């Protein structure tokens, strides 16, 4: 048994290496280069500055990634699930939904998720572009082809998404295993030639650099943060692999390889400051440049794949929790529930990434846009973690704040250093995140407004059933299933059906779906059945935010509660509302117009809940917002 457990842990650790660490693992391509040779406040290359920057890199990886994420934040898991959405649901635990504090936590969580989408756009662009730029070192003749090659790789990556990652997923781990080994080997050769760089482990070098170069040191933090980009992935992907494989991969392999490579690049710069042209590739001998460019490109594609898959996953969670409209979700694997493909989101991301690559033109220019998204998400993670510590772990507010204060100060320093780059590109993730945040909050508020309008006109279910039984309404064979968000009210579709057909089916099921702030609901708790007079029944189907909605499968479970539904003899009646915006409503008119547009373009409930389309009847109504 112990041998099997160890084998499974090793397999999961290798898989985590391929999926989780692609983003942070490709940072050596551009991080050191951006500090000393970037377009924005480059640091002069001299021994004190090189050792100071290396010290900042070392302690950023130790404090922010190792202590904050690996040792602390990963404890805040929602039944094994991590990520900004899971952290937000934990922070909302036992809170009053109407309170100002609760609304603030929701806003923070949603804006953090919105910034994650900005990261999902920037990561593929900067990673692939920085890898392909290595071709310039082989011969300058490649320079005009850098952008076309980059765009070709990115377009191919997004075209492949519809096939899923199952086929190539098994290759990700071994490739990243080779990638990190390559980082360590080339870095070690340079360190052996100039071992003095190892002195940078002493934090005093970093402190002295910041104190001795007050303005320049502050500006440098905006590039130093690039070494920790991808730290959120450790937490976000925890549900796929568990905490231990991610922690073992980081401490035992990824962290040492990254540090050796960064120190190797520092040693190279001390020996030859002209190597700042591209210190990562110049660590390698000439014969290794071609294979290294290929390996780096593959590694950046893997990093991009992980971020894209994360965007798909977080969107599905947002759909389940009611923050985005229903989108078409395609399942690309019969075995892995998390492998999904969202066509609309896929093409939206591709268009945004192409615009970024063409608009910014180089990885150095993109670096200005990168840091602000990462540091903004990290700051929000700190604040949500404080709420989790107080509400869930029963820490005192003072203890929670003091525990998070060092991390807040570090992340705030990184964020402020990146904020000065807003005019140079940092505006993009903020604008992108703000646009996504507006969409998320508008949809949530619009749905609340719509439900309140429907509830105001709704009849109570029990008195309605009594009237039906007393009025002698005719019944026709079969089962009618009416979907509604309010299980105790008469669905509008039922009223319309009775008005038009003057009869009801022999068996009537009032079906509602509830999504809870847990990742998954076990099948034993999937359905809640209440038998009512007149052969009516209430069925409440319960899902977690990572569950896959499947109404026919859920209704099959009702047989255990004595409610037998023959799907071949059942008809689903759905309401199809036409929304009419109006001035003077509880929501701004422009947001009403936006909500109406989103509502019209939302995916159908039929496809989302996997209801057979030939069993569906839609009945329309007009609702004035």
Residues 345-397 have pLDDT tens digits of: 888 889 989 998 888 887 777 877 777 888 888 899 999 999 888 888 888 99
Mean pLDDT of the chain: 85
Q: Are 544 and 338 within 8 A, CB to CB? A: no
Q: Are the C-beta atoms of 259 and 94 separated by less than 8 Å?
A: no
Query: 């340079």: which residue's tokens?
Result: 190
Q: How far from 227 is each of 64, 66, 88, 165, 567, CA to CA, in Å? A: 10, 13, 26, 27, 55
Residue 1: per-residue pLDDT: 52
Q: With DSSP H G I counted as helix, E B as strand and the rest as coil, what are the percentages for the chain, rounded to 5?
A: 70, 10, 20
Instruction: For residues 509 and 527, give the distance between their C-alpha atoms in angstroms, rounded to a whole number.
Output: 13
Residue positions counted in the chain: 625
- pLDDT the model gives residue 419: 87
In this prediction, residue 433 carries a pLDDT of: 87
Predicted local confidence at residue 401, as pLDDT: 92
* Domain residue limits, the chain: 33-445, 459-624
- pLDDT above 90 (res 79): no
For the chain, give the percent of residues with pLDDT over 90.
Answer: 27
Model confidence pLDDT, tens digit, residues 567-597: 888 999 888 778 888 888 888 889 999 998 9
Read off the pLDDT of residues 451-471 as tens digits, 9 standing for 90 and up.
888 777 778 888 888 888 887
Residue 163 has pLDDT above 70, yes or no: no
Q: Tens digits of per-residue pLDDT, 107-138?
A: 888 898 888 888 888 888 888 888 888 888 77
Using CA atoms, how far apart are residues 139 and 132, in angstroms rounded to an integer?
12
d(CA 87, CA 85): 5
Q: Could you report the per-residue pLDDT of 5-16, keeping only the tens digit for each?
A: 677 788 778 877
Do 372 and 426 touch, CB atoms closer than 8 A? yes
Which string of b and e fits 453-481 if b means at least 16 CB within 10 Å? bbeeebeebeebbeebeeeeeeeeeebbb
Q: How confident is the model at residue 169 (pLDDT cuts 50, 70, 90)?
A: low
The dotted CATH code for 33-445 is 1.20.1740.10
- For tokens 């540091």, name the residue: 375
What are the backbone angles phi and psi of residue 540, rounded to the nearest 5°? -110, 115
pLDDT band at 259 (very low <50, low <70, confident <90, very high): very high
- Cα separation, 380 vs 592, whole angstroms: 28
pLDDT in tens, 526-570: 999 999 888 899 999 999 877 888 999 999 999 888 888 888 889
Percent of the chain with pLDDT over 70: 94
Alpha-carbon distance 55 to 51, whole Å? 6
**Element housing 226 (H / E):** none
Using alpha carbons, list the distances in angstroms from residue 443 to 126, 328, 598, 603. Answer: 31, 17, 8, 14
Secondary structure E strands in 56-120: none
For residues 463 and 506, give the distance between their C-alpha atoms in angstroms, rounded to a whole number: 19
């Amino acid at each position: 048994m112990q041998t099997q457990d160890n084998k499974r842990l090793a397999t999961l650790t290798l898989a985590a290496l391929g999926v989780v660490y692609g983003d942070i693992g490709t940072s050596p391509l551009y991080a050191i280069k951006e500090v000393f040779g970037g377009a924005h406040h480059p640091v002069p290359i001299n021994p004190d500055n090189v050792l100071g920057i290396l010290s900042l890199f070392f302690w950023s990886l130790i404090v922010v990634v190792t202590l904050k994420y690996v040792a602390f934040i990963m404890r805040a898991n929602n039944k094994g699930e991590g990520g900004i959405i899971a952290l937000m649901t934990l922070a909302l635990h036992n809170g009053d939904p109407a309170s100002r504090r609760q609304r603030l936590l929701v806003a923070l969580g949603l804006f953090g998720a919105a910034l994650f989408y900005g990261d999902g756009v920037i990561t593929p662009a900067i990673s692939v572009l920085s890898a392909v730029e290595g071709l310039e070192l082989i011969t300058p003749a490649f320079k005009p082809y850098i952008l076309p090659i980059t765009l070709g790789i990115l377009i191919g990556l997004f075209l492949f998404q519809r096939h899923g990652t199952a086929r190539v997923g098994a290759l990700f781990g071994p490739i990243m295993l080779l990638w990190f080994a390559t980082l360590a080997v080339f870095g070690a050769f340079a360190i052996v030639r100039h071992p003095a760089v190892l002195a940078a482990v002493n934090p005093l070098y970093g402190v002295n650099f910041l104190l001795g170069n007050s303005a320049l040191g502050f500006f440098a933090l905006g590039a130093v943060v690039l070494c920790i980009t991808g730290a959120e992935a450790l937490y976000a992907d925890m549900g796929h692999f568990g905490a231990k494989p991610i922690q073992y991969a980081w401490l035992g392999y990824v962290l040492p390889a990254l540090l050796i490579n960064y120190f190797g690049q520092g040693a190279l710069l001390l020996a030859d400051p002209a190597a700042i042209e591209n210190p990562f590739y110049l660590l390698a001998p000439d014969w290794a440049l071609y294979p290294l460019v290929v390996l780096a490109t593959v590694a950046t594609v893997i990093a991009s794949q992980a971020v894209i898959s994360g965007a798909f996953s977080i969107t599905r969670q947002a759909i389940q929790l009611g923050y985005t409209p229903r989108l078409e979700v395609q399942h690309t694997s019969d075995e892995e529930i998390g492998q999904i493909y969202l066509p609309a989101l896929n093409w939206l991301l591709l268009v945004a990434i192409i615009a970024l690559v063409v608009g910014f033109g180089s990885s150095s220019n993109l670096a200005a846009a990168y840091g602000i998204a990462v540091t903004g998400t990290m700051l929000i993670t700190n604040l949500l973690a404080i709420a989790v510590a107080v509400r869930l772990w029963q820490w005192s507010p003072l203890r929670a704040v003091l525990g998070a204060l060092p991390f807040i100060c570090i992340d705030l320093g990184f964020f402020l250093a990146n904020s000065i780059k807003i005019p140079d590109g940092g505006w993009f993730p903020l604008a992108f995140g703000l646009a996504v945040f507006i969409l998320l909050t508008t949809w949530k508020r619009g749905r609340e407004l719509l439900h309140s309008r429907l509830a105001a006109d709704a009849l109570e279910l029990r008195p309605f059933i009594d009237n039906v039984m007393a009025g002698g309404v005719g019944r026709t064979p079969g089962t009618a299933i009416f979907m509604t968000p309010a299980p105790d009210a008469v669905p509008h579709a039922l009223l319309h059906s009775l008005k038009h057909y003057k009869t009801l089916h022999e068996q009537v099921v009032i079906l509602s779906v509830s999504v809870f702030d847990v990742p998954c609901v076990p099948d034993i708790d999937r359905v809640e059945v209440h038998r009512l007079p007149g052969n009516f029944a209430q069925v409440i189907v319960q899902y977690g935010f990572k569950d896959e909605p499947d109404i026919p499968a859920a209704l099959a479970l009702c047989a255990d509660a004595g409610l037998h539904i023959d799907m071949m003899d059942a008809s689903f009646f759905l309401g199809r509302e036409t929304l009419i915006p109006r001035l003077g409503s509880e929501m701004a008119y422009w947001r009403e117009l936006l909500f109406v547009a989103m509502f019209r373009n939302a995916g159908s409930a039929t496809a989302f809940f996997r209801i057979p389309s030939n069993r569906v009847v839609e009945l329309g109504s007009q609702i004035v917002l």
